[in-house]
Chains A and B, each alone.
With several copies, the nearest count.
Chain A
Amino acid sequence: MIRVQREDFDIGIELSALTRGKTGIGGVASFVGLMRDVADGTPIHAMTLEHYPGMTERELQRIELEAQQRWPLLASLIVHRYGRLEPGDRIVLVATASAHRAAAFESCEFLMDYLKTKAPFWKQEETPDGPRWVAAAATDDLAASRWRKD
């Protein structure tokens, strides 16, 4: 399941809903991205996440489907926020559930790596010198490339 929303989310409620009634699940790996108060040594007061409505949902669904095809998942969830956020705010939640932990961990990391390089979101940070757009990280491309099946 995927959701793109302005509102915050509650991880406990999300994971309970995800696993409810599915007693074949042995483990749930999850990742929560939080807004940091500093980037490259510059203090960040706030951040605005822009996205491409329509394509964002399609990309997240495509990424989720790929994870389901590669690992024996019993449930999965991606929740990504947009709009203005402040330090400490939750940005994204990715959760994957499987009978055993290895598949849950791997697929959760895969989803985060792909989401970072494919989902059409852009961050603009508010710094003491004014707003600046976040540049894509080469380390994110590298992280995503290790999942490629050659």
Chain B
Amino acid sequence: MKLLYFAHLRAKIGIAEEQLDPPPGVGDVSALIEWLKRRNTRFAEALREPRALRVAVNQTYVGWHHPLKPGDEVAIFPPVTGG
């Protein structure tokens, strides 16, 4: 699975992109976020407030219960501020 972090999430976590395979129990976006938060304090701090997170799977916005599969591109980022 490819993970991408943007904007101040990227700055807080300290990496922009990583390849990783979460354990089999991590089946949806919500479970992935919880699992990431347990990795270390940087993740725990960056992902603390779920309402301030947006998630896209394979470059499409998804909800909290969207299922995940190996090979997915999962991006986690703050609300957008373009335009």
User: Which residues does A use to contact B, with CB under 8 Å?
Assistant: 33, 49-52, 54-55, 58, 80, 91-92, 112, 115-124, 133-137, 140
Shortest CB–CB separation between residue A124 and chain B, in angstroms?
7
Give the contacting residue for A122; candidates B7, B59, B60, B61; CB below 8 A.
B7
25 contacts between A and B (CB under 8 A): A52-B6, A52-B56, A52-B59, A52-B75, A54-B59, A55-B56, A55-B75, A58-B60, A80-B82, A112-B83, A116-B81, A120-B6, A120-B82, A121-B80, A121-B83, A122-B7, A122-B8, A122-B82, A123-B81, A123-B82, A133-B7, A133-B8, A133-B11, A133-B81, A135-B79
| A119, B80: Cβ atoms closer than 8 Å | yes
Chain A facing B: main interface SS = mixed
B interface bracket (residues with beta carbon within 8 Å of A):
10 to 19
| Chain A residues with CB below 8 A from B27, complex form | none
**Distance in Å: Cβ of B15 to nearest Cβ of chain A:** 15
B83, A92: Cβ atoms under 8 Å?
yes
Min CB distance A118 to B, Å, is: 7
Using Cβ atoms and an 8 Å threshold, which residues of chain A touch B6?
50, 52, 120, 122
Binding site for A on B (CB under 8 A): 4, 6-8, 11, 56, 59-61, 75, 77-83
Q: Is B81 a contact partner of A118 (Cβ separation < 8 A)?
A: no
Instruction: With both chains docked as a complex, state the minimum distance between the C-beta of B10 and any C-beta of chain A, in angstroms.
Output: 8
Minimum distance in angstroms from A76 CB to a CB of chain B: 16
Contact status B80-A122, CB under 8 Å: yes
